[in-house]
Structure 1
């Protein structure tokens, strides 16, 4: 029996305001910034919406100008923000980000402790919402924000599987947000086992599983009930594996890397969108590689995420 759905994808997490330095240099010395938004989970949500999928976004923001800016920005990107709550007691988180024009990782300073999103809980994602969607995309960031978001993540993943939808999980490690690495490994591996598809980077997989090869990381999760595992290998491409096959898909050559932040979110956007279209696994990974390559060629976390027309032109060429 086919489920009647309103959304292609539900995603949740913390959207922060981001003040990006206009000029290179130490953050303490920069005097001009441009206001944008940041958040790995919402990057994927925006990427999927730009490709034409219907996406519902779940989060909390403060009753402040940053919160209003985030709401307006997400809505302008085509996300359904009816489940984006305004918390009158806690502020919107924000971050400062340096500018790098040489392809290196920018410096980022976070101001998110006690934020509105860190007070989310299972009540933010009711079963009725999950029943209205085909797919749930999750990352390991919300579980690191506190007991409430951790409980939300487990509730949402278990409920989505129970009501007949599918789940993807990108570990997206943030060790500094956890009490210690053992706690992080315990919770994230437990959550990963609730997903249909897991999308770690190789270094993340090594931290979480103790395995040093793509095959070893994939087998760790497959043995715990995951259907498909895709290991991101940076410029080299990605390794795909399920219970019956495993193969490498080469990366997309990029002439100049500008900003690596958001590459993994672009990868997840590509794989999840193609997977939901029912494309063969190799084509899913190829699209993931392509959008990851788009992401690193521009400054900004989500600015490189393509529209459907831009993606199709790139894949055709």
Structure 2
């Protein structure tokens, strides 16, 4: 039986986005969308034609039903998702901004997803995929979800599968900065591909130099590090090669949330499809650029055709 492409896990939340700018406390009307770094990537992978799976736990409530139906429409395998009648599905409120990052208010404490534990790791399901993409968010939620993260990673590595890791730092979720740095680096150094942002790299390694950030992880056995540089693109380094791939010019930034997850979608999908590292990084830059031009966290993620058209226009000027 052939393996499916990529699996991920984490918490999905229903997101209510303000329909007009202003402080969240002053907003009367919101638009419903879906949020969560890992579901962002699952959607992105599926839109590019990869067979993608997402593992989590949802409350037995209307929010949980909405998420299941949403992901099913996106052709994501959710057979690894369980229901919980005792804990709710989390949700969040997100402000509308004209520039900069939006304000986000989370309602996720004691959510169904936060109860995932090491005993919930389904090795058979996970190893039915050739690649695991994970972020640093589940390890930050609870002790149980941290155990799940370690269990999933260890299961995939033991089976000879590749693993990518996006730190996706959320300092507010950790008891201390020291614990965050220790756990995130421990997980990152067990992965094959590590994808920090430049600010995250500084927090995690003590250096703001992309080359030094990459060297930190390469020296611990990671095979590829791609450091996200925002509008400037991304720096990559392997054991044998390095370089900077320029970003794409964006006329209007609508919402920056989801750009990093979009980069991960591009790089990971490119690597799984056999592109060169610079080509995969360029794909990541392209999807990140498309992501910031739409309101929803993953609304701008493209199909293969849209991605090819965008790249052709950006690189040649020909539509």
Pairwise TM-score range, normalised by the shorter structure: over 0.9
CA distance in 2, matches of 1:274, 1:186: 29
> Which residue matches 1:35?
32
- Secondary structure of the corresponding residue to residue 80 of structure 1: coil
The superposition leaves residues 64-83 of structure 1 with CA deviations (integer Å, 9 ceiling, x where unpaired) of 11111111111111111111
- 1:52 deviates by 0.3
> Which residue matches 2:165?
169
> Which residue matches 1:69?
66
Tell whether 2:181 aligns with 1:193: no
After TM superposition, the score normalised by the length of structure 2 is 0.96
Tell whether 2:267 aligns with 1:277: no
Tell whether 2:83 aligns with 1:86: yes
Contact 1:59/1:124 (8 A) holds in 2: no
Q: Which runs of 5+ in 2 are unaligned?
A: 314-319
- Secondary structure of the corresponding residue to residue 205 of structure 1: helix
Tell whether 2:309 aligns with 1:293: no
Contact 2:80/2:125 (8 A) holds in 1: no
Contact 1:103/1:260 (8 A) holds in 2: no
Q: Which runs of 4+ in 1 moved over 4 A?
A: none
CA distance in 2, matches of 1:310, 1:212: 34
Tell whether 2:190 aligns with 1:209: no
The superposition leaves residues 253-312 of structure 1 with CA deviations (integer Å, 9 ceiling, x where unpaired) of 111111101000110000000000011011001000000000001111010100111001
Tell whether 2:176 aligns with 1:180: yes
- 1:46 deviates by 0.4
Contact 1:251/1:289 (8 A) holds in 2: yes
CA distance in 1, matches of 2:108, 2:147: 19
The superposition leaves residues 216-236 of structure 1 with CA deviations (integer Å, 9 ceiling, x where unpaired) of 110110111100000000000
1:104 corresponds to which of 100, 107, 113: 100
- Secondary structure of the corresponding residue to residue 89 of structure 1: coil
- 1:315 deviates by 1.6
The superposition leaves residues 21-41 of structure 1 with CA deviations (integer Å, 9 ceiling, x where unpaired) of 111111111111111110011
- 1:122 deviates by 2.4
CA distance in 1, matches of 2:161, 2:271: 13
- 1:211 deviates by 1.5
> Which residue matches 2:258?
262
CA distance in 2, matches of 1:178, 1:131: 29
The superposition leaves residues 96-137 of structure 1 with CA deviations (integer Å, 9 ceiling, x where unpaired) of 00111x231111000101111000012333111122111000
Q: CA RMSD in A?
A: 0.9
- 1:84 deviates by 1.1
**How many pairs are equivalent?**
313
> Which residue matches 2:316?
none
- Secondary structure of the corresponding residue to residue 301 of structure 1: coil
CA distance in 1, matches of 2:48, 2:119: 29
CA distance in 2, matches of 1:174, 1:5: 36
1:115-154 superposed matches below 5 A: 115-154=111-150
- 1:20 deviates by 0.8
The superposition leaves residues 167-223 of structure 1 with CA deviations (integer Å, 9 ceiling, x where unpaired) of 000000000000010000110000001100000001001101111200111011011
